[in-house]
Structure 1
Amino acid sequence: MRKLGLIGGMSWISTQTYYRQINRLVQKQLGPVASPPLLLETLDFRDHYDLREDAQWEQSSKELSETAKRLEDGGSTAILITSNVMHKVYEDVAAAVSVPVIHIADCVGKKMAADKIERATLLGKKSVMTEGFFRKMLVAHGVDLMPPDAEAAEQLDRIITAELKLGKATRDAERALKTIITVNEQQGAKAIILACTELEQVVDIDANVLPIYDTTRIHCEAAADWILTED
């Protein structure tokens, strides 16, 4: 198996999800006692929690890039950023290393294109829903994204930041997500892109009114494929 590097800690909730899912995917192929060679460095989430100014993003980008270099030096043959939001600095991180950095939205776009899903709603942190760094990658694969709803973006930002990233999954959050998904179905969405790792705590990915494209699950599948592919 090929060694994979993970940049984690944003949040620890998402990091454990990546670790668990990648291990289970590898075990599904190689048996219940198999465990993939993973190199994990977790960052202090306080330094990447609420970035607003350009200078803050530049510092965060520098730290992720330095982490990626250490993972490469440790023998990682590819790297994952275990956060949707932090793919905002993807290009800087990818430029800092000579090994591939597997882009989460690229993986999702490829899968949706293969499934011929054209009209979808993107749900996640406000920056993921509204800024171009994530949306443009999906659009490049032919995915027609519905315009972001400003009110839903604010609501989701609050739920994710104040509750889910702290491991607090409430019934109110479950009801809020169910309502948002139902409204989007009524407005013509053919699929939901769940672009926040922590949202799995309040959304039943496998039993919903619309197909759910969980970016974390798809990213982990790409990671397992990489690990299991022979050089």
Structure 2
Amino acid sequence: MHSHYHQDEVTLTTTGHIGIAAVSPEGAALCYRQIFRHASRLFPDRLPPRVTIHNEPLQTYIESVRADDWEGVAELLLKSVGVLKGAGVDFVLTPDNAVQHGVMIAEHQSSIPWLTMPDLVADALVENTHQTVGILGTRYVTQGSAYQTAFGLKGIKLQVPSDEDAAELDRIVFQELIHGTTKPQSKKTILDITRLFRSRGCQAIVIAASELGLVLEQIEPPLPTFDAAELLAIGAVKRASGS
């Protein structure tokens, strides 16, 4: 018996191979999901990119960051780079904001190219002609040099939370958000900080902690937001697709 059914052949363009040097499980898992969500949205006629994830234990990163040992952070990232290179990735990224200073060091010693959050965020801000922006994140981010350097090279002025607000953001992230909870008072605090940024002349807010992005979706901040983790996933998909 002969079947008259036949399926039209669909030729799907292949895409590249993304490597994720994971630090926190939550950050890596979120990035993985975002990559595939944006791949299907941006390039529905292409096969999704291949993604390989490698991690060194989170506690080793935490110890290095707390000791201000950024060379140690870079060494951990480069261990992942070695494994990811063996897996055949085209480029590597790290979705954790807190280690971006270590990424800057690792990038210069890496055997494969990096895609970095601060540069992608800076490009997005320039594209939207924002010249003064506020940043929300932990103190490792807001008081570190990774975003300040990337933004400064693009002529973008960066406003950071006060020491008191930075300490409160740390408490909210580490004592509430990473455990999946947010107190109403904490939401009010975050909203107050965003309003303060507006009063200081900021045109937009950079979300440099993925957990804070979930809160900002609920409180309607007074300024446009640029989520670093989201922009990294979009940038990775575009690069893997050759665009």
For the residues of structure 2 that align with 1:168 and 1:19, how far apart are their CA atoms? 22
For the residues of structure 1 that align with 2:29 and 2:202, how far apart are their CA atoms? 30
| Cross-structure match for 2:157 | 144
**TM-score (ref. length: structure 2):** 0.85
- SS of 2:52 mapped into structure 1: strand
Q: CA RMSD in A?
A: 2.2
Compute the displacement of 1:147 (Å). Answer: 4.7
Q: Residues 147 and 160 (structure 1 numbering): CA distance in 2 closer, same or farther, change over 3 Å?
A: closer
Asked whether the equivalents of residues 173 and 202 of structure 1 are also in contact (C-alpha less than 8 Å), the reply is no
Compute the displacement of 1:72 (Å). Answer: 1.4
**Greater CA deviation, 116-125 or 168-177?**
168-177
| Cross-structure match for 2:215 | 202
| Cross-structure match for 1:222 | 235
- Cα-to-partner distance string for 1:19-78 (whole Å, 9 max, x where unaligned): 111101111134399542000113322222252324x44333211111112111211101
Counterpart mapping for 1:5-44 below 5 A:
5-8=19-22, 10-31=23-44, 34-44=47-57
| Cross-structure match for 1:181 | 194
Percent of aligned pairs sharing the same letter: 21
For the residues of structure 1 that align with 2:76 and 2:179, how far apart are their CA atoms? 22
For the residues of structure 2 that align with 1:58 and 1:144, how far apart are their CA atoms? 27
| Aligned residue identity for 1:5 | G
Q: Residues 157 and 14 (structure 1 numbering): CA distance in 2 closer, same or farther, change over 3 Å?
A: same
Q: Residues 141 and 205 (structure 1 numbering): CA distance in 2 closer, same or farther, change over 3 Å?
A: farther
Asked whether the equivalents of residues 68 and 93 of structure 1 are also in contact (C-alpha less than 8 Å), the reply is no
Asked whether the equivalents of residues 4 and 77 of structure 1 are also in contact (C-alpha less than 8 Å), the reply is yes
| Cross-structure match for 2:16 | 2
Runs of 5+ in structure 1 lacking a partner? none
Match of 2:141 among 117, 121, 128: 128
Larger radius of gyration, structure 1 or 2?
2
Q: Residues 119 and 198 (structure 1 numbering): CA distance in 2 closer, same or farther, change over 3 Å?
A: same
For the residues of structure 2 that align with 1:118 and 1:11, how far apart are their CA atoms? 31
Compute the displacement of 1:189 (Å). Answer: 1.5
- SS of 1:209 mapped into structure 2: coil
Compute the displacement of 1:129 (Å). Answer: 0.8
Match of 2:204 among 191, 196, 218: 191
| Cross-structure match for 1:97 | 110
- SS of 1:48 mapped into structure 2: helix
| Aligned residue identity for 1:173 | S
Matching of residue 52 in structure 1 with residue 66 in structure 2: yes
| Aligned residue identity for 1:108 | V
For the residues of structure 1 that align with 2:160 and 2:70, how far apart are their CA atoms? 25
Q: Residues 72 and 208 (structure 1 numbering): CA distance in 2 closer, same or farther, change over 3 Å?
A: same
- SS of 2:207 mapped into structure 1: strand
Match of 2:127 among 87, 92, 114: 114
| Cross-structure match for 1:166 | 179
Asked whether the equivalents of residues 78 and 102 of structure 1 are also in contact (C-alpha less than 8 Å), the reply is yes
Q: Residues 44 and 171 (structure 1 numbering): CA distance in 2 closer, same or farther, change over 3 Å?
A: farther
**TM-score (ref. length: structure 1):** 0.90
Runs of 5+ in structure 2 lacking a partner? 1-14
Compute the displacement of 1:141 (Å). Answer: 1.0
